[in-house]
Structure 1
Amino acid sequence: MLVVAEKEIGGLMTPEAAFDAIEQVFAAMASDKAYNFPVVREAIGHEDALYGFKGGFDGAALTLGLKAGGYWPNNQKHGLINHQSTIFLFDADTGRVAAAVGGNLLTALRTAAASAVSIKHLAPKGAKVLGMIGAGHQSAFQMRAAARIHRFDKVIGWNPHPEMLSRLADTAAELDLPFEAVDLPRLGAEADVIISITSAFSPMLLDAQVTGPTHIAAMGTDTKGKQELDPALVARARLFTDEIAQSVSIGEFQHAIAAGLIAEEAITQIGAVVNGTHPGRDGAEVTIFDGTGVGLQDLAVAAKVVELAERKGLAQKVEI
Structure 2
Amino acid sequence: MFIVSEDTCKKLVGRADAFKAVEAVFAAMAKGDAYNFPVIREAIGHADALYGFKSGFDRSGLVLGLKSGGYWPGNAAKGLTNHQSTVFLFDADTGQLKALVGGNYLTAVRTAAASAVSIAHLARRDAKVLGMVGAGHQAAFQLRAAAEQRSFEKVVAWNFHPEMLPGLAGVAEEIGLPFEAVERERLGAEADVIVSITSAHEPLMMREWVKPGTHIACMGTDTKGKQELDPALVAAATLFTDEIAQSVTIGELQHAIAACLVREEAITPIGAVINGTHPGRTSDDEITLFDGTGVGLQDLAVASAAVELAQQSGEATEIAI
Question: C-alpha displacement at 1:149, in angstroms?
Answer: 1.9
User: Is the deviation greater in 147-156 or in 101-110?
Assistant: 147-156
* Aligned twin of 1:316: 317
What secondary structure sits across from 1:101 in the alignment? strand
Question: C-alpha displacement at 1:127, in angstroms?
Answer: 0.4
Separation in 1 of the partners of 2:272 and 2:182? 35
What secondary structure sits across from 1:47 in the alignment? coil
For 2:315, the aligned partner's letter is L
8 A contact 1:153–1:178 mirrored in 2: yes
* Aligned twin of 2:124: 124
For 2:314, the aligned partner's letter is G
Question: C-alpha displacement at 1:157, in angstroms?
Answer: 0.1
Separation in 1 of the partners of 2:123 and 2:233? 17
Gap regions ≥5 residues in structure 1: none
Separation in 2 of the partners of 1:110 and 1:49? 22
Question: C-alpha displacement at 1:294, in angstroms?
Answer: 0.2
The count of aligned residue pairs is 320
Separation in 2 of the partners of 1:131 and 1:161? 16
* Aligned twin of 2:249: 249
Separation in 2 of the partners of 1:311 and 1:116? 26
Question: C-alpha displacement at 1:125, in angstroms?
Answer: 3.0
* Aligned twin of 2:273: 273
Taking the TM superposition and a 5 Å limit, the aligned residue runs for 1:1-320 are: 1-283=1-283, 285-320=286-321
What secondary structure sits across from 1:249 in the alignment? coil
Q: Which runs of 4+ in 1 moved over 6 A?
A: none
Gap regions ≥5 residues in structure 2: none
Question: C-alpha displacement at 1:182, in angstroms?
Answer: 0.2
TM-score norm. by structure 1 comes to 0.99
Q: Tell me the alpha carbon deviations over residues 168-195 of structure 1, each in whole angstroms, 9 at most, x when there is no partner.
A: 1000000100000000000011000000
Separation in 2 of the partners of 1:107 and 1:91? 22
Separation in 2 of the partners of 1:229 and 1:247? 13
Separation in 1 of the partners of 2:119 and 2:170? 22
Separation in 2 of the partners of 1:212 and 1:234? 13
What secondary structure sits across from 1:285 in the alignment? coil
Separation in 2 of the partners of 1:314 and 1:306? 9
Q: Tell me the alpha carbon deviations over residues 80-102 of structure 1, each in whole angstroms, 9 at most, x when there is no partner.
A: 11111000000000000100000
8 A contact 2:125–2:150 mirrored in 1: no
Q: Tell me the alpha carbon deviations over residues 254-274 of structure 1, each in whole angstroms, 9 at most, x when there is no partner.
A: 111111111100100000000
Could you tell me the percent identity over the aligned residues?
68
Question: C-alpha displacement at 1:319, in angstroms?
Answer: 2.1
What secondary structure sits across from 2:137 in the alignment? coil
CA-based RMSD of the aligned residues comes to 0.8
Separation in 1 of the partners of 2:287 and 2:47? 39
Separation in 2 of the partners of 1:301 and 1:78? 28
For 2:274, the aligned partner's letter is V
Question: C-alpha displacement at 1:78, in angstroms?
Answer: 1.1
Question: C-alpha displacement at 1:47, in angstroms?
Answer: 2.0
8 A contact 1:189–1:212 mirrored in 2: no
Separation in 1 of the partners of 2:290 and 2:12? 28
What secondary structure sits across from 1:70 in the alignment? strand
For 2:146, the aligned partner's letter is A
